[in-house]
Amino acid sequence: MRKHPGVLIFVLALCLGWAGMALAQNEIQLSIPLPLTGQQAKFGEIEQKAYMIAVEEINAKGGIKKKKLVLNFEDSQGKPEIARSIAEKLIDVNKQPIVFGEYSSSCSKAVAAVAEERKIPYVVVTGAADDITQQKYKYVYRICPSNAYYAVGLMSFLNEVVKPKSVAILYESSDFGTSGADDMEKQAAKAGMKVLLKEKYEKGAVDFKPVLSQVKAANPDVIYMVSYVMDAALLMRQIKELRIDSKLFAGGAAGFDIPEFVGNAKEAAEYVVTATLWSPQVSYPGAKDFAEKYKAKHGSYPSYHGAEAYAMTYLLKDVLERSASMKPADINKALKATKLMTAFGPIQFQDKDGFQNQNFMETLVRQVIKGEHQTIWPKKIASAGYLYPIPRWRDRK
Amino acid sequence: MWVQAEVFLQTLVSGLLLGGLYALIGIGMTLILGVMKIINLTHGQLMMVAMYLAFWLFTLFGIDPYLSLLIVPPLMFAFGMGIQKFLVNPVLRVESILPHNQVILTVGIGMVLQNLATLFFTSDYRSIPVGYASTVWYLTDLWRDSPVELSFSLPWVVSFMLAVVITLMLWFFLAKTDTGKSIRATAQDRDAAMLMGVHVGWMRVITFGLGSALVAAAGCLFIPIYYLFPALGSQFTLIAFVITILGGLGSTIGAILGGLLLGVFESMTATYVGMGWAPAGRFVVFVAALVFLPGGVASLLKRRKLGK
């Protein structure tokens, strides 16, 4: 008697299995590695939600080549070795002809290596480390701009509007902060700006006034800061305290780009600009719809990670429709020829500046205007005019 | 030249303001160390708990963090007494191969507190958006012809002042009241105090409560100028530890001086060496104090007194 439930479940499972296989004829089943637990889970979750919104939309409009798209998710915990074994499983066991996804650079790198070895096309969605698309890989593509291009939009804003002669760089002593500061230093040299000061700090610092009073003495035209979360707000508050009147205060995404920044820095956040990849206000087709839909469903606007995942799903649809067959080689050919406009921006894979199959796009600049982040650059997709020059602290109310 | 003077003075002001707050964190630990002879390695985590209390008092009832100085430290006093009575005291009685398993216990309590905070409040960063957070006084506003411009942030100055007031109150308590004297007696010589009729076990409980209340007060003073997340505690445990060593184990005056010294030292390092070096500098002070000044600042004070 005791064995009955087990047998029943087994039979049921078999039936379901057959049913599943029958259905599979009319389905495209794909799995995505994502960090759904662990430290990066928050971002994995944002991406997962964005994928699901896109899948619903696509299936509501008849799916891909009249087949229903089904996406499954595999938890990589943000660990490269797990991401690698997931990629191996997807390719060797599931015989998936295309792989995409993952969040961090290190995990994306691990998957890319497997995909290239097996000659299966892989699309990197959010991993930004430069070297992923610098390996002369033939099967690895990337949607998001690489780290070195994050601040391109900000630089063009600086060069065309502010025209600064000198810059001070403050950054957090992490991978992210260091690479951001190093890139800025290179770009500043290219643009003919003098780097007066390049100072790092340990995250979690309480008092920035000592280093800021040095910045004040150096009197740079622009202060560029790369900080996570709350340091950004503390920095701006203390800059206001010391009345450092630079021509512009600029942040390198992250801590300067989140709503908490304005909430915590309050009026000190006003006029601060920050580099970013995407915002819910951009005028790309579908961007607003996606942002509103996401907000209605999950309560807040998605970060650029969500937009990248959303765009990825549409890229998948586009590629599979153009591809001659479901064979990896054909899909690879189709990927190479991509020219698609998405909610995240235009996608086109190019070989240039030492990168292969990299999507180059304009990054944006946002400015805090009346307590809200507004997209101000590039002008053609701006949601508000930029405010420059900014008033001196003494004259602000 | 004035520019350099301005940098130096501003650094000094920042260092002293920061040092005052550091001192308040350090005193609590030093007090517990003096009476209990153990390092309380959950000190920073207690501060974190206090900060969350202040945060919720503000969010739910709109109570200003400075006002919650009247609510949070008493709560934490009770909480600290509870820890001592129900967790540390039973461990004291147990014979074990490790001589200091109470210290290990405090580490464990800290971990539990931190993980509970993550569980209940998530690891989001929070802050209290008080209206005066970026209100500042400027020297040039007070004295028009001043050659240098110094700024004094309102919450920093108020926090510093309150830290001084609390420290004075503590001094009064320890020097003038019966209970305070008993605590000092216990710290100086436990057996003698016991023979003189001091209820040593009770003093321990009170001391742990007092230490917790002091660091809770520091938490309330920190919230308007800083922010809050569950893992914030360990950083401040470390700072308190360095101050305690620097000040001389168990000496209250030493902890005050140690806190001020550390604050000024950190600020000076940040200005003249590099801000990334400030945490490293902290440990240089720590090791230097252990090697060259094993009794801490307190031993210097004592030596001078004896010399006279």
Mean pLDDT over A299-304 rounds to 84
Cross-chain Cβ contact A241/B18 below 8 Å: no
Region of poorest pLDDT, from A337-346, A367-376, B118-127: B118-127
Is residue B220 pLDDT above 90, yes or no?
Answer: yes
The pLDDT value given to residue B221: 93
Please provide the average confidence, as pLDDT, over all residues in chain B. 87
Region of poorest pLDDT, from A279-293, B94-108, B179-193, B236-250: B94-108
Is residue B308 pLDDT above 50, yes or no?
Answer: no
The pLDDT value given to residue B99: 61
Strand A140-142 and strand A349-352: the pairing is unpaired
The pLDDT value given to residue A13: 54
Tokens of B135: 């209100």
Mean pLDDT over A82-101 rounds to 94
Mean pLDDT over A42-57 rounds to 91
User: pLDDT-derived band of residue A166, with 50, 70 and 90 as boundaries?
Assistant: very high
- The secondary structure of residue B137, as a DSSP letter, is E
Region of poorest pLDDT, from A79-83, A136-140, B15-19, B276-280: B276-280
Considering only CB atoms, which chain B residues are within 8 Å of A207?
Answer: 14, 17-18, 266-267, 270
ipTM for the assembly: 0.80
Nearest to A242 among B129, B151, B222 (CB): B151
The pLDDT value given to residue A316: 95
CA distance A181 to B2: 30
Q: Are B228 and B118 in contact (CB under 8 A)?
A: no
Q: Is B18 on the interface with A (CB under 8 A)?
A: yes
Phi-psi domain of A246 (left: phi exceeds 0; alpha: psi -120 through 50; beta: other) = beta
Helix boundaries (H) for chain B? 2-36, 43-61, 72-83, 89-93, 101-121, 139-142, 154-176, 178-188, 190-195, 200-222, 233-247, 252-272, 278-292, 296-307
Q: Is B10 on the interface with A (CB under 8 A)?
A: yes
Nearest to B14 among A210, A234, A267 (CB): A210
Q: Is B134 on the interface with A (CB under 8 A)?
A: yes
Interface of B with A in 32-91 (CB under 8 A): none
User: pLDDT-derived band of residue A20, with 50, 70 and 90 as boundaries?
Assistant: very low
User: pLDDT-derived band of residue A5, with 50, 70 and 90 as boundaries?
Assistant: low
For residue range B123-147, list pLDDT tens digits in order: 777 888 787 877 888 888 788 777 8
Mean pLDDT over B1-17 rounds to 88
For residue range A229-274, list pLDDT tens digits in order: 678 888 998 999 888 999 999 988 777 887 778 888 888 899 999 9
Is residue B307 pLDDT above 70, yes or no?
Answer: no
The separation between CA B44 and the C-alpha centre of its own chain, rounded to angstroms, equals: 8
User: pLDDT-derived band of residue B109, with 50, 70 and 90 as boundaries?
Assistant: very high
Q: Are A173 and A211 in contact (CB under 8 A)?
A: no
**Looking at the domain that runs over A22-148+284-359, which CATH code has it been given?**
3.40.50.2300
The chain A residues in contact with chain B (CB within 8 A) are: 173, 199-202, 204-211, 213-214, 216-217, 229-230, 233-234, 237-238, 240-243, 260, 263-268
User: pLDDT-derived band of residue A24, with 50, 70 and 90 as boundaries?
Assistant: low
Nearest CA to CA, how far is B95 from chain A (Å)? 39
Interface of B with A in 233-272 (CB under 8 A): 235, 266-268, 270-271
Considering only CB atoms, which chain A residues are within 8 Å of B232?
Answer: 204
The pLDDT value given to residue B2: 81
Mean pLDDT over A314-323 rounds to 94
Backbone torsions φ then ψ of A341, nearest 5 degrees = -100, 130
* Nearest chain A alpha carbon to B224: A264
pTM recorded for the entire structure: 0.76
The pLDDT value given to residue B101: 78
Strand A340-342 and strand A345-347: the pairing is antiparallel
Q: Is B1 on the interface with A (CB under 8 A)?
A: no
The pLDDT value given to residue A247: 93
For residue range B30-88, list pLDDT tens digits in order: 999 888 888 889 999 999 999 999 999 999 999 999 999 999 999 999 999 999 999 98
Is residue A40 pLDDT above 70, yes or no?
Answer: yes
Here the contacts of B170-179 (C-beta below 8 Å, separation 24 or greater) are B170/B27, B170/B210, B170/B214, B170/B252, B171/B252, B174/B252, B179/B203, B179/B206
The greatest distance separating any two alpha carbons of chain A, rounded to the nearest whole angstrom, comes to: 85
Mean pLDDT over B221-249 rounds to 88
> What is the share, in percent, of chain A residues with pLDDT greater than 90?
51
Residues of chain A with CATH 3.40.50.2300: 22-148+284-359, 151-276+363-395
Q: Domain A151-276+363-395 has what CATH class? A: alpha beta
